[in-house]
Chains A and B, each alone.
Chain A
Amino acid sequence: MAYSFPEEVLEYVFAFLSSDKDRNAVSLVCKSWYEIERWCRRRVFIGNCYAVSPQIVIRRFPEVRAVKIKGKPHFADFNLVPERWGAYVYPWISAMARSYPWLEEIKLKRMVVTDESLELISKSFKNFKVLMLSSCEGFTTDGLSSIAANCRNLRELDLRESDVEDLSGHWLSHFPDNFTSLVSLNMSCLGSEVSFSALERLVSRCPNLKTLRLNRAVPVEKLASLLRRAPQLVEFGTGAYSTEIRTDIFSNLVGAFSGCKHLKSLSGFWDVVPAYLPAMYCVCSRITSLNLSYATVQSPDLVELISQCPNLKCLWVLDYIEDAGLKALSSYCKDLQELRVFPSDPYSAEPNVSLTEQGLVTVSAGCPKLQSVLYFCRQMSNAALVAIARNRPNLIRFRLCIIEPQAPDYLTLEPLDTGFGAIVEHCKELRRLSLSGLLTDRVFEYIGTHAKKLEMLSIAFAGDSDLGLHYVLSGCESLRKLEIRDCPFGDKALLANAAKLETMRSLWMSSCSVSYGACKLLGQKMPNLNVEVIDERGPPDSRPKTCPVEKLYVYRTVAGPRADKPDFVWTMDEDGALRLS
């Protein structure tokens, strides 16, 4: 005779569980807990839209209010995934429109979103509040018009880094005059000019507006008017920050900024004219996040600005900052947690700025809280990497891109195995790592041995043999995402570690040495994986089995092979049941 808590009590307790991991654990305790939990789960995160179907999600979780779905693999950001590959959101929207009338939030990343989908969203969910489209594509500003016109309770519209077909700026004018609920608007990726008076009126009538990221088309002389209407802003992104210097514009801007007592984050700064940067000095002391990655400004001007931001936690900047600027950063910004340095001229063979490994070493020494790094540079040494590792064992994300593929340690001309080895050995909490430079199988041995918390690994132009891949797949216990390009990894390691792939979200391999035969075998062996071959040269069947495939994408799924493949993608052993009998 078992007594248990009444359902209502359990539900009340479960409501305190926000993490998916906890809720999943709770669901496994017993059938009744599974049942109770599934009825009260409100947020669902789907890391791979093809790992599950909308029907399966809806069947299990009938009362969801917020979904987050990711589509294409990460390498799609760098044009390695062909157009028309997939990740269409429409089937999800249409299923949810029928089953989740109370849906409030949709957050999508790397998915194809059509105007039709946006219109359906705007008409199906009466209490819709949050739309975030991160690195999405397939829609136009007409789709945005539907959202603006129909979502009466919209709070957030965030289009970050999406590729929108910009037909006109007219969409913004579709927000009705009685629409006042906006909290966050990020339109920075759009090209067209919106009606400025419509924007002003929108900002004026939304008292809860906290985030406003403008697009490049909004000139600097218009900023003051917006800031004065929204002094409560916490996050602000400028448009183009250049114009001929006029003292009245400048002083107006200073006045407007000084009224913003809550600003913590600044971004934008396209085409920045350095003389306008001091307009922001009055807010710098509160600034925790600064995105200057579009600011083509020289180091001294950057340093002037940064030196006023002692509370800076996150800095994105171009390599114009140079080693000298990073040295200043390390002395002024002791709270720094995240640094991203982007290349101003990624394609020239010669360095155009004086930014080397030294800058990163200095920051690693001077900023004790630094945990997240993305750094593009043209030279690196094992000594520098070892120093960084020793300085910053608290690193969680370390993404290093040495621009020239297979560049060795510039001092010793050796591979950078030891350096990256030191990173994984010292940084025991490392969750994400991107490698570059000259690397042998040895670095993968270090990674397999030490990187026990590593969840995502990106590899390019590295390794000597299958052994490298084998070390990673057999050693990295926490690995979820592995993406590889242009490495001599082939069949043996892949097939020997087939079971590992079921414990991961996905594996991407392009321009490697995996044969069609091995892909077929993998597909046959592993029914819970979709093994997808991408090949422009036509059906893989028309070439010998030993022929390497162009691109391979393997992911675990409970939804079976996908039905929306384009003509250059083949799922291995789709009709496995027929073949095995």
Chain B
Amino acid sequence: ASPLWLDMAALIRGLRAGRALRGLGGVAVQGTRSTQCSNVRRGFHRAALLRLASDSKSDTSVPPPSYHEVHTAGESSSSSAQGESSEDAQPNTSFQDQSGEHSEDYETEEQLQVRILTAALEFVPQHGWNMEAITAGAETLGLSSASTGMFNNGAGDLVLHFVAQCNAQLTETLAEQNNQVQLGQAESKKTGEFLKDAVEMRLRMLVPYIDTWPQAMSILLLPHNIPDSLKHLSTMVDDIWYYAGDRSTDVNWYTRRAALTGIYNTTELVMVQDSSPDFEETWAFLDNRIKDVVNMANTAKQVQATGEAVVQGLMGAAITKEIY
């Protein structure tokens, strides 16, 4: 082994010892760019101080041990001026100051992952939903390709990130629309129309990636991704119904969400096979499905009203019999 790798081994042992001292719990791991060991150790010290200072209990994922070692190894071995200059160009995440605990300059590992994945999205049409796109994204941020080692679930991470991003955008837009309606600046829509518009808005976010979307859908169906993808789907459907005005507290809560989930999934499937201009056939399909659901809901209401009347009648007869 070369002396460089021996140094790296020592560094790795030091990092692991530092992590052990930090213990479990709230993570504020810094994306260290410095090539000097002392800066890395100072980073851990600051991380520990940051954690003491903050009272956040939310647990972000524990950083995979590979990240630091791989990254610092990558940084150390690459002596190109490019690495240095891009580091200078991003003051937010560099460890330039030596003075102490400037927490605003820190970027958590989660934030870094988000930045890399967002950058990776532009390479998806080209490479597909896989590590190549993530690598390309990391490189545009000036990170070494080895930094992708922190994504254990590569393609899954990328797709889930994209889904979360789309859902967040949808929720924001719906909240904004709701705000306008409450302020009287906009007319409220009928339920069917609202649902149609919300689903269409959300599905249109897939348009730039529509060619590779079947691959993404299959990734989301992988067993280890299913819990997360189901959570995203159920939260999205809950949000759409909430802003549509649903405040039900009975079994309708479930039937409505199940219906909308069905509509969304089937429309998504139609969309990936749709070749009509601007996906006209998809929106027509969506329109018909929504009409079906609205009709079914109205019919159910009528059936329930009739049923209630019948029950009342029977009870009346029974009580009359009971008393006499």
Answer yes or no: are A and B bound together in one complex: no
Chain A positions near chain B (C-beta within 8 angstroms): none
Task: List chain B positions with a Cβ less than 8 A from chain A.
Answer: none
